Structure formats: structure tokens, C-alpha cells
A and B are shown apart, each in its own frame.
Chain A
Amino acid sequence: MEAMVVKQPQPVTIAFDVMGTDHGPAEVVRGAAQLSLDSPHIHALLVGDRTLIDNALAETKHNGERISVQHASDFVGMDEKPGEALARKPNASVAVAARLVAEGEAQALVSAGNTGAGVLACARHFQLIPGVRRAALATVYPTRSVRGAKEDPFSLILDVGATVEATADDLVTFAVMGSNYARIISRNERPKVALLSNGVEPQKGPPRVVEAHARLSEMKDIHFIGNVEGIDIPKGTADVIVTDGFVGNVCLKMLEGVHETVVELAQYAYKESLRWRAGLAMLSSGIQRIKDITDWNQYGGAPILGFDRIFIKAHGRSKAHAIANAGKVAAKVVANNLGNAIREGLQK
């Protein structure tokens, strides 16, 4: 009988932009520290103010064999204009981290800082995959249904802001990229891909959406289910929802707004009357379940797709757990060679 061979994962180094997050560098350091304990094959390269990183590390349980530090004297704040800030601060942590990834010191970048600065730093240091004209910023959104071997309760929406006006070509590219990402991350062999439009009929929407629909319908490697409407996003009708950056961003902000309003209404109800409070108490396990599903801390982050290197954008409010998850997502994308999968997908 043949002995079972357990394949050890290849070591991978993830660069973490430690600076410029809502909770400060210590939270990112703690996330990387957690990763160094949980995932022996993942090495963290922490980029940022050395003193702040060292102070946080010294107080945190970690494995020093799996963590290194690259000092960066500057960082881009959340409220700064990305282009101007990066021009003024060539040693900003996100720029240094992107450069290190481009030079092969790390295989992926994770940042919870200024999104625009992250995208711009990647655009300056990474190359677009052949066949990709514009990168896409993806996000995950919690849904009613689950998908893939991991039963992920979220769908992927792209683009949500990197390419404001996408052409039909771009939308097709986004569909290929999103489909491959969902296949790798959710272990969903045939993710359902849909175009976001104002009706499910193939002729609905602006000409670029109609053209993209026609082309995607003919692609055998994409499980294209046609158009979906806004209402289908939280339902989880599709695993990957493709749209342009303008519509995607408006859509995302609206969904976030609805979520916040529901939470506020629940808080109002809790304070308003004893009867309502009792009702909420009875629903508490269900509410907790919804809270778990909609907790973006579970998902780590969302990718910028289209570059030859990996960039996972974590939420600015990410705590250590979310940062560690973002690092795991990045390592998984690297291990599964997403760039190659997209390249091959675009050639078909």
C-alpha cells in the first residue's frame, strides 16, 4: 500500500501595509502576529514605522521566525488625496510595500489603509495581466444563500470603484477575473456570474452591458446566468456580480446604508418599549446569526483584480482577526496562481 503523502504548502510572504488604518498600526501587527501562530507557511513582512511595529510586536504573542519588518518613514492618511499624497511621500508604507511585492520580496500585499493610495501604488509598481485593460476593485457582500465547498455566505461584486466607466471589454474581463477569484477563494467550481442591469432581459441596459451580455453568453468557461437587478444582490442569486465602478460604488454604499439603518432601527426599537425589547430578545439567536454572516471581519478583505501581483484591500476598520483573514486570503490566491488562471481565462 502506498504511503499517503501530505503536501506541505509552499512558503509565501505577504507584505502588510501597517499604517494609516482606523485602529492604528497595533491592530495590523496583531493580525500578522496571529497569522504567524496559525499558518506556518505564511510569512509576514510588516511595512511601516519600525518603532511602532516593534513596540506592538514585543507585547504580542507571535512567532518571530515568520515575521520581518521593513521600515517606512511615511504613510498616507485616510483623508488624503491619493495622487498628491504619494507624490509628496515616496516612502509611504503602501508604496514601499507595493514596491517590495513588485521586486519579489513578498508575493502579495494587504492594506487596510487609504483605498485610492493602495490602488495607485499597485498601478505604479505592478503590471496589468495581458488582456486586462483596467483593474477592478472587488468587494464581498453578505447574502442569504451560501456557495462553494466552503459555503461562503457572500457574493463578489466588481468593480466597485477602480474603473468608473467600463467598456464591454472591461465587463467581460471583470467577469473572467471575478469567476476565477470565486473559484479559488470559495472553492466554487462553477460560480454563477451575472451582469448588473435594470432588468433581466438580455437587451436591458446601456449598449456596453448589452454587448457584454452577448459575449459572455457565448463563453463556455464562464457560468453566465444573464442579468440580475439590484434586488438580487442580497438574495445571492449570483456568486459574482459584474458592473462598472460608478454603479458598483453607488450600489455598495446603498447596501451599507441599508445595513446601518436596520441596525439603527433595531437599536431604536430596543430603547423604545419593553415589548419591542422582549421581541428582540426572542429573536436574539437569529439576530446573532445575521450579525455573524454580515460581519465583514470574517472575510478579511477584497481583491484588486487585474494586476500581475495580488493586492487584498482590507476594510479600514479591520481588527486583528480581519487582517489575519486577509493575509490567509492573499496566501490562498498566491498559492492558486490567480494571475495565470485569469490569463488563461482571457485567452479562451
Chain B
Amino acid sequence: MSLPDRIDPRPPRRIYRWDLDKTYLQTDFDSLRDLLRTAFQKAHEKVAVPGASALIRELSESGDSRLCIVSGSPKQMRAVLEEKLKLDGVRWDEFVLKDNVGNLLRGRFRALRGQVGYKLPAILESRVKAPAEAEEVLFGDDAEADAFIYSLFADLIAGRVDERVLSQVLEAGGVYPDDAERVRAAWKQIPVADPVRRIFIHLDKLTPPAHFTPYGPRVVPIFNYFQAALVLLADGHLSAPQVLKIAVEMVQTAGHNIITLSNSFQDLLRRGLPLQQAAVALSQALEGPNKLLAAMRPMPDILSAFSKRLAALGTPPPPPPVQAVDYVSLIHHALPRNHKGRTRPSPGG
């Protein structure tokens, strides 16, 4: 028997798309000082959001997933960002950074802060190369336009947004014609499918969750990555022991405790996410003989905290209804914070 001379990687069954700043990294760039500090930070000085690296590592365990990072950080930071990811044990398949110097040299000032014209073509072009059946989960934050862009991406490839709406959005979003053309070109190459399962929005700025209601239940605002892990357990992307490993890391490295974890769990239940089965799976995993779980002792306290938070709620409410997203009226969500249209009331609203 002869060995094959080439082993092709399995086609990805799942694609996880991540933003970096405020989603994976704890980054401040609200002032010029913050911006400069961030620019000159070394890799080991950068701090990941608690649980983020553990979550990524657990998601890659299955071996048939891809990690695609699209960040608004400038290309000049590639080396330091890659070093940080390596320090955290994170391996990626795609890593796209923004060409801010190029934009500056070409006088494309809108592109410096605009997100739609940068991220939307980048993730659509990435999707072109993906198998049609590959599911997607996207991770962003509440600092910029991630909920808007990711939802639009999902609905574009699912055929729920037409050319007219796309044109209106691109125009209102201040997208340059060449970027708009990239969006259309990539979109046309993607076979119609409905692969986006979840869009997680890390609430770095603690934006009230109701802000994301217009995007429907696919978008899940999260206060921490234990919450994302719980939803991914319910969605079948993670096992209960994997979720517990993420929780352990958050407890051991980021000061989380039984109260914060159980409150986070109850928060999702109250928002109508169907996590009852996930709770059962977690309880069973905690009772298992896994050595790692010894770190989570005393287990009875954890189980008791989780079940009390669950019982405290009485009858669960129905999950939020699926709804169509009105991108034209939500475009102000996607405009840079200092844009005058950002605070303008939405049409008809």
C-alpha cells in the first residue's frame, strides 16, 4: 500500500469569522492617546477578552473549521497581532487588515473610519472560496457596525436582500464605487445559501441589548464569551466539557466566579435563548469523571447556582420571532460615530 503524496485538508464544515479589536482584544481607541498606546503596544502587552482565545481553540478542535479574521487595525500592525495570536495558541486561516495608509495616500478619507466599504467586500470575497454548505458563525462588537455588516452579509448570500436595497445601503454608507463594485462582484459569485447561524456581538461598550433587536434572534449580544459558548453548545458547535473548559479559563485568569457565570447564563435565558438542554448537558458534564472539572470544585455550588438561576425565572418566555431586517432604516447603525447621519432618525421610525 502506498501513501498518497499529497493530503488535501478537509473542506471546512464551519467558518468562524472574527473581528479583532474589542472582540478578541481589549482595545481602547476612543481617544488619540488610546490610539497611540494601542499602536505602540507589544504583543505580550496586548490583552485578549477573557475566554476569547479559549473559545477559538475549542472551536478549532473539530479540525474541519476555518478561522477568518477581518480587522480594522492597520496592515502595519500585522506582525505584532500575529505574534499575539500565536502567544495565545490561536491559529488562523485568513487574516485581513485594513490598508489605512493606502486609503490616506489615495485621499479616501471616508474609508479610514467607514466599516461597510471595508468589511463587507472582505467577508464576501472570503465566502466566495467557501463550500456552499459550510455554516458560519460571526463574532463582532458593539463599537462599530458589526451587527449591521454581518447581518447584511448573511441576508445577501441567503438571497433575502435585493440589488436595490444593497445599492441604497452602499450609497448611504458612503462606500466608494470600487468597493461597491467588489461587493457586487463577490456577491454574484456566491451560490444562494443560508449558512449564517449566529452573529455574536461582544458588548464592549455595554450597549443595551435591545439596540440589536431589529436584527432578529440570529444576532446575540453577549457580555462575555461564556455566553457565546453556551449558545454554541445549544447550537451543536461545542460540547459541554468544552464549555466548561472555557469557563475554567475565565475563572482562573479573569476573575469570573460562580455568580458572574450563573448570572450570565440566566441573562441569556431571560432573553429567550433556548438553553434548557444546554443546562442539562452542563450538569451531566460536571458530574462526569473529567479531571479538568476538578478545577471547578465545589461542583455542588455550581450546579446549585445554575439551577437556582434557572428556577428563579418561572415559565420561560417564547423565543424571539424571526423577522426581516430593514437595512435601509438601520444604516445609521453602520455609520462612523462622528457622522452626522448617525443620530438621524431612521426613515419611517
Contacts and interface: CB of A to CB of B under 8 A. Distances in A.
A248 B314 CA distance: 42
A43 B263 contact: yes
A43 B314 contact: no
Contacts of B242: none
Interface string A61-93: 111111111110000000000000000000000
B206 A58 contact: no
A125 interface: no
Interface string A10-30: 010100000000000000000
Interface string B224-241: 100100000000000000
A68 B209 contact: no
Tell me the interface secondary structure of chain A in the complex: mixed
A11 B260 CA distance: 10
Contact of B313 (A43, A50, A66): A50
Contacts of B262: 68
Interface string B173-216: 00000000000000000000000000000010011111001000
Which one of A13, A51, A54 has the highest number of Cβ atoms from chain B below 10 Å of its Cβ? A54
Contacts of A105: 308
B151 interface: no
B312 interface: yes
B21 to A, nearest CB: 20
A300 B309 CA distance: 28
Interface stretch (B6-14, B264-272, B282-290): B264-272
A11 B305 CA distance: 15
Interface in A227-248: none
Interface string A283-325: 0000000000000000000000000000000000000000000
A217 interface: no
B208 A13 contact: no
A50 B262 CA distance: 17
Contacts of A68: 262-263, 266-267, 309, 312
Given A58-B210, A61-B208, A63-B223, A70 B259 contact: no
A68 B314 CA distance: 13
A278 B143 CA distance: 48
A2 interface: no
Given A50-B314, A54-B270, A105-B308, A11 B257 contact: yes
B317 interface: yes
A65 B208 contact: no
A13 to B, nearest CB: 7
B259 A62 contact: no
Interface in A35-66: 37, 43, 50-51, 54, 57-66
B260 A69 contact: no
B208 A62 contact: yes
A58 B209 contact: yes
A255 B260 CA distance: 43
Interface in B300-341: 308-309, 312-314, 317
A316 B309 CA distance: 28
Given A43-B259, A61-B206, A70 B224 contact: no
A120 to B, nearest CB: 23
Contact of A59 (B210, B256, B314): B210
Contacts of A37: 206
A11 B314 contact: no
Which one of A13, A59, A60, A64 has the highest number of Cβ atoms from chain B below 10 Å of its Cβ? A64
A69 B208 contact: no
B270 A70 contact: no
A62 B314 contact: no
B206 A69 contact: no
B259 A11 contact: yes
Nearest to B269: A69
A64 B267 contact: yes
Given A11-B257, A43-B263, A65-B263, A71 B314 contact: yes
A64 B210 CA distance: 13
Contacts of B223: 63-65
A105 B262 CA distance: 13
Contact of A60 (B203, B208, B270, B317): B208
Given A71-B313, A105-B308, A66 B263 contact: yes
Contacts of A54: 270-271, 317
B230 to A, nearest CB: 12
A61 B207 contact: yes
A35 to B, nearest CB: 13
Given A50-B270, A62-B206, A63-B223, A69 B313 contact: yes
Contacts of B227: 64
Contacts of A61: 206-208
A105 to B, nearest CB: 7
Contacts of A67: 263, 267
25 contacts: A11-B257, A13-B259, A50-B314, A54-B271, A58-B208, A58-B213, A60-B208, A61-B207, A61-B208, A62-B206, A62-B208, A64-B203, A64-B227, A64-B267, A65-B223, A65-B224, A65-B260, A67-B263, A68-B263, A68-B309, A69-B312, A69-B313, A71-B312, A71-B313, A105-B308
Interface of B: 203, 206-210, 213, 223-224, 227, 256-257, 259-260, 262-264, 266-267, 270-271, 308-309, 312-314, 317
Given A54-B317, A64-B203, A66-B259, 11 more contacts: A51-B317, A54-B270, A54-B271, A57-B209, A59-B210, A61-B206, A61-B207, A62-B208, A65-B223, A65-B224, A69-B266
